[in-house]
Amino acid sequence: MSKGGGGEIHLPNPRKSDMYPTVASASDEARQKFLDDTVSFFKDLKSDVEIKVGEGSETETFHINSTILKIRSPYFKAALSNRWNHTTPITLYEPTISPFVFTILYKYICEGVVDSLKDVEPECLLKIMQAADRLLLPQLVKIVELHVVRKHCQWLKDRLNILPEMFKYSGWVYIQAFYINHISQNPEKFFGSQNFTSMDVKIIESVINSNELAMDEINVWDNLIKWGEKQPGGLDGVKKTLESLTPLIRFVSIPANSFYEKVKPHKRFIPEDLYEEALWAYILNKPKQHLQNPRATRIDSNFITPHHAVLLSDWVDGKAPDTYSTRQLPYDFELLVRGSRDGFDGNTFYSKCKTVAKTIIIIKVRDSDELIGGYNPSSWQTDYSNKDSFIFSIKDWRILDDVVISRVRPTSTSQAVTWRRNGLNFGDGDLALTNPYNNVNAGQTRPKNYDIKIRDGEVFTVEEYEVFALKGQRC
């Protein structure tokens, strides 16, 4: 085929599919082009609003178009709604927001991007969240909030005194969940703190309502009474509040003698029908319908919680997400091996796990928040053919919002779990510890026998690993 001077036109080889973008990728490119053009268009709009932020010597004025403000922020849309016929520029004042903080907000409003938060101190990050909350920018709140939880978790743990401030904002769900999870695993720090009795009722309710609260139930009751005694007017001054909180107590987990000695004297704070059901539960040794079930079974782990156990149990049994709950786990997670306790060498793994079926391996990747692991329904003595093995990754072990599960391919079931001297290998290196005999705590994830890739990199270093046996199907 020729054109003009006879030069040939070479069509791409249709067998080279990588030369053609997929419909999805082409759509993504078109969407990005639209966003880039939109941002460029808004940048060229004339500024008709000036926003003065800060106070005293720390002030700065930002210039922006009112249309952008109205589109991006319901707060500014309301602020500007009655100013359409005013002369321009319109001046708005935000003295409670510092120039540095508003610089972050300004770029997010105008361009939809957030500058790197890596070097921003956590105190300042909270101020960014407060300002974003004030200006009704929930997506920005979420971005900064997740960064705080993931990168400054120890800073948060060391500052239980900021709990009241964190619970003022209904949209700060990740930080609030982080604190409730931390308190549930370390309740003595919360109940023993100087600020405990001054905590708002919303915080107290969230803590004692936690299904993962790792404290004997009678001690939970004692602390609730202790909190009530320190409120204005004492226990009787917060009688209605206590009547709303006492139903959260798991009376079925309180021994009868403790109930008689410590609960009965305060029965006036328990709804009458609930108290009567609790008594019948002791007499008949059978919980009634209005009593709370016992709290979640505690798991001996450095990083997984009952919420992880729900996710893993759903996967093991091939169930839809959240089929099980932390109150009704189908399995006990019995710890067999912990690297930091028992060693990382293959001999240890093999001696403790070789004859055990239904095991889950959890690996914490060094210098990250990532967990990876796998499930083996068979024992580890030799190669086993099975169709139920899977490997997985959890991007952030604290927040289960980015997880990947990869099941063994139907054509590779004979290589679902292959035996190696180090004892830990799913597929042919799909997930394996590479050289634990030399105590080099490294591993690899190289897709071959499992259906999808579980992480970006192939090689990783192990910070910690735990192996659990799943015992007894209880539901």
Q: Is the pLDDT of residue 248 over 70?
A: yes
How far apart CA 386 and CA 380 sit, in angstroms, is: 13
Q: Is the pLDDT of residue 444 over 50?
A: yes
Contact between 432 and 337 under an 8 Å Cβ cutoff? The reply is: no
Q: Is the pLDDT of residue 19 over 50?
A: no
Mean pLDDT (whole number) for 419-441: 71
Looking at residue 400, its pLDDT comes to 84
Mean pLDDT (whole number) for 335-348: 88
Mean pLDDT (whole number) for 341-359: 87
Whole-number average pLDDT of the chain:
86
Looking at residue 39, its pLDDT comes to 64
Predicted TM-score (pTM) of the model is: 0.73
Residue 14 φ/ψ, nearest 5 degrees: -65, -15
Q: Is the pLDDT of residue 24 over 60?
A: no
Peptide bond into 89 cis (omega under 30): yes
Looking at residue 8, its pLDDT comes to 40
Work out the pLDDT band at 2, boundaries 50, 70, 90: very low
Q: Parallel, antiparallel, or unpaired for β 440-444 and 459-471?
A: antiparallel
Higher pLDDT, 162 or 418: 162
Complete DSSP assignment for 271-339? -HHHHHHHHHHHHHT---TTSPPPPPPP---SS--HHHHHHHHHHHTTPPTTSSBTTB-SSEEEEEEEH
| C-alpha to C-alpha distances, 465 to 140, 315, 371, 373, 441, nearest whole angstrom | 35, 20, 9, 9, 10
- E strand or H helix at 427: none
Work out the pLDDT band at 59, boundaries 50, 70, 90: very high
Kindly report, residue by residue over 283-333, the tens digit of the pLDDT: 877 666 677 888 887 888 988 888 899 999 999 999 998 888 887 889 999
Looking at residue 43, its pLDDT comes to 67
Best CA proximity match to 427, nearest among 372, 385, 464:
385
Q: Is the pLDDT of residue 280 over 60?
A: yes
Q: Can you say how many angstroms the Cα of residue 368 is from the centroid of all Cα atoms in its chain?
A: 14
Domains and CATH numbers, the chain: 49-151 (3.30.710.10), 216-284 (no CATH), 306-471 (no CATH)
Structure tokens at 267: 């029965």
Mean pLDDT (whole number) for 92-114: 93
Q: Is the pLDDT of residue 437 over 70?
A: no
The share of the chain scoring above pLDDT 90, in percent, equals 56
